[in-house]
Each structure stands twice: as structure tokens, then as C-alpha cells.
Chains A and B, each alone.
Chain A
Amino acid sequence: GNSVTQMEGPVTLSEEAFLTINCTYTATGYPSLFWYVQYPGEGLQLLLKATKADDKGSNKGFEATYRKETTSFHLEKGSVQVSDSAVYFCAHSTPTGNQFYFGTGTSLTVIP
């Protein structure tokens, strides 16, 4: 079946700390992989994506690499800011591309 497993939160970090949020997926074929971010009271926004093995998606200092051999897409940022406080969702598409499966979300709080 299709599923996404991401590390449970909440995660609390000090400003400028290194961030890793783990994500692994189960899917048929070769899905596209996504990270979305949700700020309080808002809908999800695309943070970054990767469409094939070994691709690296990056945006706003965040990075994630599509690892087919480990079926993983871990999110990293070298130095977090208070403004990065949000809930982060890992997701993958189905081979037909018309459905998406989401993880349960990881809440991140960055303290000054």
C-alpha cells in the first residue's frame, strides 16, 4: 500500500540549531516526493519537491534528497529561525499522479 511515516513531534529547537525531520515512504512505482509547511491558521504550502531518485529539493534554506534505496526524504536545515516554527508534512504522489499521501505532520517550535 501507500503510506508516509515521519518522525513524531513536537520538536523544539533553539534559534540557529540544525534541523532534521525524518520521512520514509511506502509506494508503488516511482512517486514524486514533497515537503509541505503549515503555519498557524493557514493551509499547507509547498516547501520543496523532488521527482526522481537522487534529486535534491531545496527552498528557503531547507533541503531534502530523494533516496530510493532507503525510501526516504528527510528534511534538513542548517540554521533554523523563529519564523520556521510551523508544522511540516511529508507527502508522496501515486504513480498516476492524481492522489497524494501525507504523513501525520511534525510540529516545530524554534525558540530565541
Chain B
Amino acid sequence: NAGVTQTPKFRVLKTGQSMTLLCAQDMNHEYMYWYRQDPGMGLRLIHYSVGEGTTAKGEVPDGYNVSRLKKQNFLLGLESAAPSQTSVYFCASSYIQDSPLHFGNGTRLTVT
């Protein structure tokens, strides 16, 4: 049971570089989410999707883009990385609205 898989696990970027974080789930969940976790701030929602082909902004969407071309995948893109985007990024999915979230193990991103 893979559940929610995030790749890569670690990444170091220089300011201005771009990258894409991949999230894949094998549970046929409709809802997918991208959060960032920063010390003292808990988890903050970046973007989410309520189904294939849909995306919506969360609490802190600036500087990020997302795509949900396939139901099982949810991609998070950084077009021009900034040091403020240094964080641990978590992907999560849920079966239907209001059902518990299933999390990946996170991606630790450092932007220098």
C-alpha cells in the first residue's frame, strides 16, 4: 500500500531556479492538497484540488502553481524560487469532502 508518495524527498535550489514537486496517490481520492510546514506556523494550505482538472488557491498561493491533469497526480511548481520558500512541503489527499487527510512523507526544500 503506497498511499501518498512525494518526490523528491530533498532538494536544494538557488534563488531564481524552478522545480516541480510530484504527488501521487493510489487510493482513488478525489481531493488533493499541498501544504507547507514552517516552524511555529503549523501547516498552511497552498493550493488544493477537488477533482481531476480542477485547482483552487489556499491560504498562501503566491509564488506557486499547480496542475491536476490526472486524478492520481497533483503537481506543485515553483517558477522562480525564493529563500522564503524554504520549507517542508506536504501533499495530502482525501476520499470525499470532510474525510480525513492522508499525507505523504514530505519534501524538504532549501532555497539559497
Contact = CB atoms under 8 A, between A and B. Distances in A.
B77 to A, nearest CB: 21
Contact of A104 (B33, B40, B58): B40
Interface string A28-48: 000010101000011111100
Interface string B57-97: 01000000000000000000000000000000010100011
B100 A89 contact: no
Which bracket fits the contact residues of A? Answer: 20 to 34
Given A97-B98, A98-B97, A43 B42 contact: no
B55 interface: no
B98 A102 contact: no
Contacts of A77: none
A33 to B, nearest CB: 11
Given A43-B106, A44-B103, A98-B48, A103 B98 contact: no
Nearest to A32: B98
A99 B58 contact: yes
Given A46-B100, A97-B98, A102 B106 contact: no
Contacts of A98: 31, 48, 50, 97-98
A43 B2 CA distance: 13
A43 B103 CA distance: 5
Nearest to B90: A43
B97 A34 contact: no
Contacts of B100: 34, 46, 49
13 contacts: A4-B42, A36-B101, A41-B105, A42-B105, A43-B92, A43-B106, A46-B100, A89-B42, A97-B96, A98-B48, A98-B98, A99-B48, A104-B40
